[in-house]
Amino acid sequence: GENVEQHPSTLSVQEGDSAVIKCTYSDSASNYFPWYKQELGKRPQLIIDIRSNVGEKKDQRIAVTLNKTAKHFSLHITETQPEDSAVYFCAANPRGQGAQKLVFGQGTRLTINP
Amino acid sequence: DAGVIQSPRHEVTEMGQEVTLRCKPISGHNSLFWYRQTMMRGLELLIYFNNNVPIDDSGMPEDRFSAKMPNASFSTLKIQPSEPRDSAVYFCATARTGGPNQPQHFGDGTRLSIL
């Protein structure tokens, strides 16, 4: 089955600097890769997603890149702010099933230091 | 849009008791997912439904866990009997199907503590 590995498990950056979180997946048929942000005690919220027909997608300070050949995708946050502090999860859909089932990475705890 | 609604938000009960968690999906969403989140195991998919039909229950840990979706507006996850190791946050998420890659929207979760 699909296996999603996420690194690093914790990340601390200075406010204003960039943060990068990386994920690898095992199922070459996967074609949908969302990223979720979870603040302490809250629900995971979708912040950006990318489909396999696209190599990069950007939304203001957030961007995601996808390398299908290497089976990895990354989240990039630029000009980080204190409110970016949270746990971030990547996910992939096994066997290319659309949104019907996601396998999540273990999460990255991002801390933005003022 | 009220979002995915879960109840209760918190549940504390003694081991051996039956626990029922409830979820109301976003109107028009016909896929529903139950997840369990713990520090050790992260976010695990327990079971998911399409159009009220269970599609994949391979993540359900054991026979003590059961889930139903009697109609498009309601689902339950039941644990009977409950054990301390079932303590976790349980999330329900829903999505539209039809068309490619519809994102999942999570409810606020139920924090379950089994004493």
B104 pLDDT band, cuts 50/70/90, is: very high
By C-alpha distance, the chain B residue nearest A35 is B103
Quickly list DSSP for B27-56. TT--EEEEEEEETTTEEEEEEEEETTEEEE
Residues above pLDDT 70, as percent of chain A: 96
For residue A95, what pLDDT is reported? 77
- Of the candidates A35, A106, A22, A30, which has an alpha carbon nearest to the alpha carbon of residue A68? A30
Quickly list DSSP for chain A. ---EEEE-SEEEEETTS-EEEEEEES-TT--EEEEEEE-TTS--EEEEEEETT-SEEEETTEEEEEETTTTEEEEEE-S--GGG-EEEEEEE-GGG-TTS--EE---EEEEEE-
By C-alpha distance, the chain A residue nearest B110 is A43
Q: Which of A3, A10, A43 to mutate to probe the B interface, most B CBs <10 Å?
A: A43
Q: Closest partner residue to B109 among A34, A43, A101, by Cβ? A: A43
Q: Closest partner residue to A51 among B42, B101, B106, by Cβ? A: B101
**What gap in Å lies between CA B29 and CA B102, rounded to an integer?**
10
Q: What is the pLDDT of residues A59-91, one digit of tens each?
A: 999 999 999 999 999 999 999 999 999 999 999
Structure tokens given for A2: 């699909």
Q: Between residues 9 and 48 of chain B, which touch chain A (CB distance below 8 Å)?
A: 31, 33, 42-43, 45, 48
**How distant, in Å, are the alpha carbons of A26, A37, B8, B31, B80 from that of B4?**
30, 17, 13, 12, 24
The residues, any chain, with a CB within 8 Å of residue A26's CB and separated by 6 or more, are A2, A3, A4, A71
Q: Between residues 49 and 108 of chain A, which touch chain B (CB distance below 8 Å)?
A: 49, 51, 89, 93, 98-107
Does the beta-carbon distance from A107 to B105 stay under 8 Å? no
Number of residues assigned to chain A:
114
For residue A94, what pLDDT is reported? 85
Average pLDDT, chain A: 93
Higher pLDDT, B81 or A95: B81
- A32 lies within 8 A of chain B by CB: yes
**What gap in Å lies between CA A43 and CA A4, rounded to an integer?**
20
State the sign of the Cα–Cα–Cα–Cα dihedral A77, A86, B91, A103.
Answer: positive
B93 pLDDT band, cuts 50/70/90, is: very high
